[in-house]
């Protein structure tokens, strides 16, 4: 919303998963439940979300699974989470969208060997930084404009 | 932000509590008598509780709603749909809302009811420094981070650019040399609080905290690396820019069988 992370988590999964797709699916379902909660809070604060919330995920088969109702051989056992995420997608509350590993900010929360430049890039994408400088140019422009308006009003009064 | 002066003296007692006469101030003629307390005092077991029930009943009277999952948070919604949220931490009150007149009413009634001082905009609360500017809000924990470094004797260390050695994998290390459990737990706990404004530490801290039961020198090394990283990033925080869109965006990711011991995966997500 404001280019700064406000809610995050990094946890070990409670279950052993059989494939990357399943692992990603577990996160997606977990994250979706957080989405529901945050959307509710936002609604209370008077900022209800109009469309469905975009959830970026770097596994395309997870995205396909969340959309297609068919069951696939290797995902037969993903039961409750399966239904949960699919229902939320159908109701238009969450929408899974693919993003490449380079833009996947949540990567910082899950992996150890990140290259330094990628780490620094992802960190700044999260909004983590030193105190940003005040935009002096912009402030100066505002001050100058106000001064001119003041002079102009004086001129009008005369 | 409001601050209550001599906070625990506001509480009212439900039970009979007696206090001895202070030494040197005994009443002449009856040195064996005791005082019966009418109000709470500092150092009483009941004091925090009685203070909270006092302020709680006040909030309920004023038309606030108590939050069910967070008992120190109170919300008031006016007829026009304006909202005022108040959070209490012992004697500190922070409040936020979208109506100036509600702020003023609330402040004035609080100052009348309790002995309050108005500290203006929030700048420092529970170790988190807040900078409110026209273009956004910036939060960081610089002071707290420096304290943590000093406490664990790492303030003179050289800083590093990433919180963990790239490619380094942590395991249970059952044969390793054991280190002091309490010390290790203190370190992890201090770093845990730092993740409130530094999400870049989140992964490493949660990784290390898995081995809190039987920490070895290997795990301590990882923690020390985190502290060295912190040395270079102690003044980092999060900046929330103003005027962005309302849309919520989430990022979710998981590794696969990242844990060397039980092959469970680690997941993480983000909301921007």
B135–A contact, CB cutoff 8 A? yes
Per-residue pLDDT of B65-95, as tens digits, reads 888 888 888 888 888 878 888 888 887 888 8
pLDDT tens per residue, range A37-82: 888 888 888 777 888 888 888 888 888 877 776 666 666 677 677 7
| pLDDT of A135 higher than 70 | no
- Interface probe with B: pick from A25, A27, A125, most Cβ of B within 10 Å: A27
Catalogue the E-assigned strands of B114-235.
116-118, 124-125, 128-133, 136-140
Q: A75, A111, A82: which is closest to B202 by C-alpha? A: A111
- Measure in Å the smallest separation between the Cα of B131 and chain A Cα atoms: 9
- Among B3-12, B149-158, B203-212, where is mean pLDDT lowest? B3-12
Whole-number Å distance between alpha carbons of B266 and B256: 7
Q: Give the one of B81, B210, B252 whose C-beta lies nearest to A57's C-beta.
A: B252
CB contact under 8 A, A112 and B131: no
Q: Kindly tell me if the per-residue pLDDT of B244 is higher than 70.
A: no
Check residue B85 and give left, alpha or beta (phi > 0: left; psi -120 to 50: alpha): beta
pLDDT at A70: 64
Nearest CA in chain B to A127: B238
Q: Which of B170, B253, B259 sits opposite A107 (nearest CB)?
A: B253
Closest residue of A to B203, CA-based?
Answer: A109
**What are the structure tokens assigned to A93, written together?**
């509350």
| H-helix or E-strand spanning residue A148 | helix A136-157
pLDDT at residue number A1: 60
Pairs across A and B, CB distance < 8 A: 238
Q: Tell me whether residues A53 and B247 touch, CB distance under 8 A.
A: yes
- Contacting residues of B for A21, CB less than 8 Å apart: none
Q: What is the DSSP string of A1-34?
A: --SS--EEEEEE-SS--SSHHHHHHHHHHHHHHH
Q: What is the pLDDT of residue A50?
A: 81
Residue A114 clears pLDDT 70, i.e. is over it: no
Distance from the Cα of A116 to chain B's closest Cα (Å) equals 7
**Is pLDDT at B5 greater than 80 in this prediction?**
no
The reported pLDDT for the residue numbered A2 is: 63
Q: Which residues of B touch A135 (CB under 8 A)?
A: 135
Cα A14 to Cα A29: distance, rounded to the nearest angstrom: 13
Q: Which range, of A75-84, B110-119, B155-164, B258-267, averages the lowest pLDDT?
A: A75-84
Chain B residues near residue A56 by CB distance under 8 angstroms: 249-252
Structure confidence by residue, pLDDT tens digits, A9-33: 888 888 888 888 888 888 888 888 8
Q: Which residue of A has its CA nearest to B246?
A: A1
B141 contacts chain A (CB < 8 A): no
Structure token pair of residue B39:
């109000």
- Tell me what pLDDT residue B19 has: 81
CA distance, residue B32 to nearest chain A CA (Å): 59
Residues B144, B147, B153, B159: is their CA dihedral positive or negative?
Answer: positive
Chain A: closest CA distance from residue B53 (Å): 26
Look at residue A108 and tell me whether its pLDDT is greater than 70.
Answer: yes
Whole-structure pTM value: 0.77
Lowest mean pLDDT among A70-79, B151-160, B215-224: A70-79
Q: Supply B165's token pair.
A: 């050695």
Counting other chains too, the contacts that A75-79 makes at CB distance below 8 Å and 24 or more residues apart are: A75/A21, A75/A22, A75/A25, A77/A18, A78/A22, A78/A25
- Chain centroid to Cα A119, Å, comes to 17
Q: Which of B75, B97, B134, B253 to mutate to test the interface with A (most CBs of A within 10 A)?
A: B253
Mean pLDDT of B219-245: 84
- Candidate from B161, B199, B254 with C-beta closest to A8: B199
- In whole numbers, what is the pLDDT of chain A averaged over residues? 79
Whether pLDDT at A131 is above 60: yes
Of A111, A128, A134, nearest to B200 by CB-CB distance is A128
Whether B159 has its CB under 8 Å from any CB of chain A: the answer is no
Return the minimum-mean-pLDDT range out of A132-136, B169-173, B218-222. A132-136
Residue A15, exposed/middle/buried by CB under 10 A (0-12, 13-18, 19+)?
Answer: exposed
pLDDT tier at A138, thresholds 50, 70, 90 = low
Residue (of B210, B223, B219, B226) closest to B176 by Cα position: B219
Highest mean pLDDT among A24-28, B114-118, B152-156, B191-195: B191-195
pLDDT of B49-71, one tens digit each? 888 888 888 888 888 888 888 88
B140 touches chain A (CB under 8 A): yes
Q: Which two tokens stand for residue A97?
A: 């969208």
Mean pLDDT of the B128-143 span: 85
Task: Quote the mean pLDDT of chain B.
Answer: 83
B268 and chain A in contact, CB less than 8 A = yes
Helix (H) or strand (E) holding A98: strand A94-98
């Amino acid at each position: 919303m404001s280019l700064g992370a406000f809610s995050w988590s990094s946890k070990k999964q409670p279950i052993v998963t059989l494939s990357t797709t399943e692992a990603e699916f577990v996160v997606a379902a977990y994250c979706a439940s957080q989405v529901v909660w945050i959307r509710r809070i936002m609604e209370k604060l008077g900022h209800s979300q109009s469309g469905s919330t975009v959830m970026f995920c770097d596994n395309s088969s997870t995205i396909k699974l969340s959309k297609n109702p068919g069951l696939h051989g290797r995902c037969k056992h993903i039961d409750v989470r399966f239904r949960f995420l699919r229902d939320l997608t159908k109701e238009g509350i969450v929408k899974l969208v693919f993003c490449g590993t380079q833009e996947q900010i949540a990567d910082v929360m899950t992996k150890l060997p990140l290259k330094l430049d990628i780490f620094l890039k992802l960190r700044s994408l999260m909004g983590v930084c030193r105190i940003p400088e005040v935009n002096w140019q912009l402030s100066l422009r505002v001050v100058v404009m106000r001064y001119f308006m003041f002079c102009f009003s004086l001129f009008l009064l005369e | 932000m409001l601050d209550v002066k001599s906070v625990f003296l506001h509480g009212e007692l439900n039970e009979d509590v007696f206090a001895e006469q202070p030494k040197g101030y005994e009443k002449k003629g009856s040195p064996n008598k005791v005082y019966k307390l009418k109000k709470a005092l500092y150092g009483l077991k009941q004091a925090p509780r009685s203070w909270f029930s006092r302020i709680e009943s006040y909030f309920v009277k004023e038309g606030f709603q108590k939050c069910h999952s967070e008992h120190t948070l109170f919300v008031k919604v006016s007829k026009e749909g304006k909202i005022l949220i108040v959070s209490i931490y012992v004697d500190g009150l922070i409040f936020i809302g979208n109506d100036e007149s509600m702020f003023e009413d609330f402040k004035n009634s609080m100052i009348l009811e309790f002995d309050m001082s108005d500290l203006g905009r929030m700048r420092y609360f529970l170790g988190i420094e807040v900078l409110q500017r026209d273009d956004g809000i910036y939060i960081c924990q610089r002071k707290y981070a420096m304290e943590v470094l000093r406490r664990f004797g790492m303030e003179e260390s050289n800083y590093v650019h990433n919180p963990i050695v790239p490619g380094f994998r942590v395991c249970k290390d059952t044969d390793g040399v054991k280190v002091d459990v309490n010390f290790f737990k203190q370190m992890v706990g201090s770093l845990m609080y730092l993740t409130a404004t530094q999400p870049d530490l989140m992964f490493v801290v949660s990784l290390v905290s898995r081995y809190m039961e039987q920490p070895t020198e290997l795990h301590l090394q990882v923690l020390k690396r985190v502290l060295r990283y912190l040395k270079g990033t102690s003044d980092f925080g999060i900046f929330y820019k103003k005027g962005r869109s309302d849309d919520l965006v989430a990022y979710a990711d998981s590794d696969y069988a990242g844990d060397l011991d039980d092959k469970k995966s680690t997941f993480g997500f983000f909301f921007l």
